[in-house]
Amino acid sequence: MFPKVRHEMEYVCTKCSARHGIDELLYTCPDCGGVLLLNDKEFDKLKETSGKEWQEIFDGRRATDCKALKGIFRFYELMAPVLEEEDILYLGDGHSPIVEASKALKDKLGLNFAFKHEGQNPSASFKDRGMAGAFSYLKSMVRKHGWDNVLTICASTGDTSAAAALYGSYVGDPIKTVVLLPEGKVTPQQLSQPLGSGAAVLQIPGVFDDCMKVVEYLAGHYRVALLNSKNSWRILGQESYAYETAQEYRWKLQDKALFVPIGNAGNITAIMSGLLKMKRLDIIDGLPRLFGVQSHHADPVYQYYSQPEENRTYHPVDVQPSVAQAAMIGNPVSFPRVQKLVREYEALGGDFNVVQVTEQAIMDAMILANMHGHIACTQGGECLAGLIRAKEEGRIGSEFAVLDATAHALKFSGFQDMYFQNTFPECFGVTPKKDMRNLPHTIISEERRNALSKEEFTEEAAHNIAKYMNLLEK
């Protein structure tokens, strides 16, 4: 049942175009230091199968019993046709539901859209897709080389470390996982995840970009496996988001617009790469419009693409506090990948945009979405804010929008608390809308409980509720 096809793959440098073999763990080009992408040297062989036939193959796999094909590797041939079945990890990753916005929400906003709820991945964010890719490759390397001791390390805004720790603890010996976090800059839920998985959790003062530098230094000087998005096997795993979205809409994407929050820019890279592969193989009817979204507190990619095309210059930015904390990155590692893929995307007739949104808009959008039955995190709110903004700017028409809710709302409930309690520190610039606040209401006091018999207490509590909610008597 597992596909027989095996291709040769290679790393390609986004800067100097040098090619390097994949039998070594590489994160950057040994020649020039550029970031890498993985390339299937025999990709053109996939064209011997028609787009229609590929659709049938992938649709047929929806009902597979083969464990290795149940998750993100349903699209094996498009991703990593070098891995063996025994190396592929499946922890329930991928196939996150696409939930269409309710009529009430669509009417309220005058927009037609759905969320893809990536929070329903095993560690509650899309990062599991990339880790399924990276750890499957790592497992194959351990098996081939007989390594007896592998230390994986990543810097993280929270979700990368949760996913790395989860997959690392599942694989176990000889893999050990270390995560490096900016102290106080990840949510309590995100901190509890790698701790719960048994990873070594290390912290430094500063922001994500500081952690990244330390991890890169380590990778340059010591024997460690880097699991940041410099690791192009993660990008490969995250391509599955694009394949699933296409499959959900019966391979018709031309009339869609995909909205993706941009932090380190790995996700948008992966999604673009997946879309390009499907287009080249005629699996989809055409390329969807693609919208990256960034907060005005962390917007280097927006700044770059809002300059006139002839003379764009890239500048990292110093980030300010953002509720879209997982995307609060001033110098995205994958920016050179984005540049390269946007050129290819546009050359194939695709349309790439970046919109900028305020912290206020992000919070309002997240709260509004979740009050209509979604489970969007702040970055999911950022996507909805991006759609609203794109509409205001006249940059989107009748396209149906698919918004990437990149993590589960529960990971970011602290920001919801601040909204409801009106306790945002000034630096965020967020003022809650009165009609969207929601706080628990105590219906009967502790003193009354002590003063009353059990029966009286039940009755009084019930009466208080009836009064508070204006209930009618039967």
- Residue 34 or residue 130: which is nearer to Zn ion going by CB? 34
Q: Measured between alpha carbons, how far is 37 from 45 in angstroms, rounded to an integer?
A: 19
User: CB neighbours of 365 closer than 8 A, spacing ≥ 6?
Assistant: 381, 382, 384, 385, 388
With binding defined as CB under 5 A, does residue 31 bind Zn ion?
Answer: yes
Q: Which of 5, 6, 8, 16 binds Zn ion (CB under 5 A)?
A: 16
Query: How far apart are alpha carbons 384 and 115 in whole angstroms?
Result: 9
**Residue 384 corresponds to which tokens in the numbers above?**
């909805």
CB of 34 to Zn ion, least distance (A): 4
Q: With contacts defined by CB under 5 A, name the span among 12-20, 44-52, 124-132, 255-263 that binds Zn ion.
A: 12-20
- Displacement of CA 81 from its chain's centroid (Å): 23
The footprint of ligand PLP on this chain (CB under 6 A) covers a number of residues equal to 18
Position among 355, 362, 407, 430 found at the interface with ligand PLP (CB under 6 A):
407
From 404, 400, 438, 403, select the one nearest 419 (Cα to Cα): 438
Verify binding: residue 15, Zn ion, rule CB under 5 A: yes
266 binds ligand PLP (CB under 6 A): yes
Q: How far is the CB of 263 from Zn ion (least distance, A)?
A: 24
Q: Are strands 113-117 and 98-100 parallel, antiparallel or unpaired?
A: antiparallel
Residues 6 or more apart whose CB falls under 8 angstroms from that of 29 comprise 11, 13, 15, 16, 18, 20, 35, 36
- In the complex, the smallest distance separating the C-beta of residue 14 from Zn ion, rounded to whole angstroms, is 8
Q: Where are the alpha helices (DSSP H) in 222-334?
A: 232-238, 240-248, 266-280, 300-305
For residues 185-244, which are near ligand PLP according to CB under 6 A?
Answer: 229
Give the number of residues in contact with Zn ion, rule: CB under 5 A: 8
Distance CA 133, CA 135 (A): 6
* Residue 129 near residue 186 (C-beta atoms within 8 A): no
Nearer to Zn ion, 7 or 15 (CB): 15
Binding ligand PLP (rule: CB under 6 A), the pick from 122, 182, 237, 261 is: 261
Which one of Zn ion, ligand PLP, none is in contact with 13 (Cβ closer than 5 to 8 A by kind)? Answer: Zn ion
Question: Per CB under 6 A, which region of 179-187, 257-265, 306-314, 448-456 contacts ligand PLP?
Answer: 257-265
Q: Cα–Cα distance between 108 and 99 in angstroms, integer?
A: 17
Straight-line distance from the first to the last Cα atom of the chain, in angstroms, rounded to the nearest whole number? 62
- Minimum Å distance from CB 233 to ligand PLP? 14
State which H helix or E strand residue 122 sits in: none
The residues in 366-405 that bind ligand PLP, with binding defined as CB under 6 A, are 377, 379
Residue 303 — left, alpha, or beta (φ > 0 → left; ψ -120 to 50 → alpha)? alpha
Cα gap 428→297, rounded to integer Å: 9
CB nearer to ligand PLP: pick between 136 and 325:
325
Out of ligand PLP, Zn ion, none, what residue 127 binds, judged by CB under 5 to 8 A for its kind, is: ligand PLP
φ, ψ of residue 259 in degrees (nearest 5): -110, 130
Part in contact with ligand PLP (CB under 6 A); list of ranges 21-29, 245-253, 264-272, 422-430: 264-272
Indicate which single residue of 5, 32, 427, 451 sits in contact with Zn ion (rule: CB under 5 A).
32
9 binds, among Zn ion, ligand PLP, none (CB under 5 to 8 A by kind): none
Residue (of 214, 194, 216) closest to 204 by Cα position: 214
Place of tokens 């496996």: 225
Place of tokens 């990292």: 316
Nearer residue to Zn ion within complex by CB, 29 or 37: 29
Per-residue binding letters, 145-174, with ligand PLP (x by CB under 6 A): --------------x---------------
Site for ligand PLP contains 326 (CB under 6 A): yes
- Minimum distance, C-beta of residue 113 to ligand PLP, in the bound complex (Å): 18
Site string for ligand PLP, 276-315 (x = CB under 6 A): ----------------------------------------
Can residue 265 be called a binding residue for ligand PLP (CB under 6 A)? yes
Binding mask 122-141 for ligand PLP (x = CB under 6 A): ---x-x--------------
Nearer to ligand PLP, 81 or 237 (CB): 237
- Say how far apart CA 297 and CA 328 lie, in whole Å: 8
Per-residue DSSP letters for 359-377?
A: HHHHHHHHHHHHTTT--B-
Residues of this chain that bind Zn ion (CB under 5 A): 13, 15-16, 18, 29, 31-32, 34
Residues of this chain that bind ligand PLP (CB under 6 A): 125, 127, 159, 229, 261-268, 326-327, 377, 379, 406-407
